[in-house]
């Protein structure tokens, strides 16, 4: 199988590419992978250094909204796994145009090229944020989309485009919606690597409001394994939630990171809450469990410890990224 992986130099996409090319999934070692990535601030070719010499790997530097380039790449591709996205909520609040261009226009460009080329499978990687906020219980895949930030609205829009290409053009698509990811190679603007790296440098960490917002945490290895299960066996047109099963308030997460870093609450700086800050996310993963045999394997305690250790051991990877901000 020849995969086109968009955003494959980013945090989650590069994890998926590394796992595929090193044979971490059944049958994946023989797959060919073409990575298409614009190498914006969050894309980094160092994330792919482990597999850069693989004969089954090819990198293309380009924009998913570049119609000519995407049309040129699509023939000969069997399946598209679409990670590429602008994904930081705070950035979408201060300037949303790039989010619309990448997440909506870029997704449309890929779908249209995939339709024309007769691609066998199109997996669109989305987010639980498209559902909005939920006070209790968990969202299943039939819950209405109620996004509350420009970022989540752009992802919900792209989800609807993917659905439309299934319904109208019979393109074989799947949509995955994940909870908050963590793990190695995550860009240090995100909360876990930001807090770890700040504390390593003796800098304070910002905590929004009272820190009572709740997120479900999913290790990137589990997320990518779930995506591969969907790629291989997901039913055409279906949506699959992928979660980690560990819900924490931001305050609880901060406490764990302080403890792991040997720091105290003196290192926490309370900051004004984010505009439109969703209180709680929680996905019901019973569908992907029952249909595809998925379940999270990385428990949060060990996953967080391993992540902290990775950032401590890889200062040379993240330090230049923080200096460039």
Active-site residue set: 128-129, 151
Per-residue CA distances from 167 to 112, 118, 154, 160 (Å): 14, 15, 20, 10
**C-beta contacts of 264-271 below 8 A and 24+ residues apart:** 267/199, 267/203, 267/204, 267/205, 268/204, 268/205, 268/207, 269/204, 269/205, 269/206, 269/207, 270/206, 270/207, 270/209, 271/206, 271/207, 271/208
CB of 1 within 8 A of CB of 21?
no
């Amino acid at each position: 199988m020849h995969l086109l992986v968009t955003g494959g130099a980013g945090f989650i996409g590069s994890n998926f590419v590394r796992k595929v090319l090193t044979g971490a999934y059944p049958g994946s070692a023989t797959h060919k992978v073409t990575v298409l990535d614009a190498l914006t601030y969050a894309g980094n070719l160092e994330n792919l250094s482990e597999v850069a010499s693989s004969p089954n790997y090819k990198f293309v530097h380009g924009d998913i909204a570049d119609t000519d380039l995407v049309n040129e790449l699509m023939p000969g591709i069997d399946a598209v796994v679409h990670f590429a996205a602008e994904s930081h909520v705070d950035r979408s609040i201060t300037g949303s145009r790039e989010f619309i261009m990448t997440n909506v226009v870029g997704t449309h460009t890929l779908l249209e090229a995939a339709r024309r080329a007769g691609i066998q499978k199109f997996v669109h990687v989305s987010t639980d944020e498209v559902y909005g906020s939920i006070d209790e219980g968990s969202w299943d895949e039939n819950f209405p989309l109620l996004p509350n930030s420009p970022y989540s609205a752009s992802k919900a829009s792209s989800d609807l485009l993917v659905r439309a290409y299934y319904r109208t053009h019979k393109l074989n698509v799947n949509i995955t919606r994940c909870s908050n990811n963590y793990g190695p190679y995550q860009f240090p603007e995100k909360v876990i690597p930001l807090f770890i790296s700040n504390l390593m440098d003796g800098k304070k960490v910002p905590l929004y409001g009272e820190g009572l917002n709740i997120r479900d945490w999913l290790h990137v290895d589990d997320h990518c394994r779930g995506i591969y299960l969907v790629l291989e066996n997901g039913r055409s047109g279906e949506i699959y939630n992928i979660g980690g099963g560990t819900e924490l308030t931001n305050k609880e997460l901060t406490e764990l990171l302080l403890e792991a870093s040997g720091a105290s609450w003196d290192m926490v700086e309370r900051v004004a809450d984010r505009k439109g800050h969703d209180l709680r996310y929680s996905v019901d993963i019973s569908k992907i469990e029952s249909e595809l045999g998925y379940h999270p394997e990385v428990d949060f305690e060990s996953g967080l410890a391993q992540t902290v250790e990775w950032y401590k051991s890889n200062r040379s990877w993240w330090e230049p990224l923080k200096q460039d901000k």
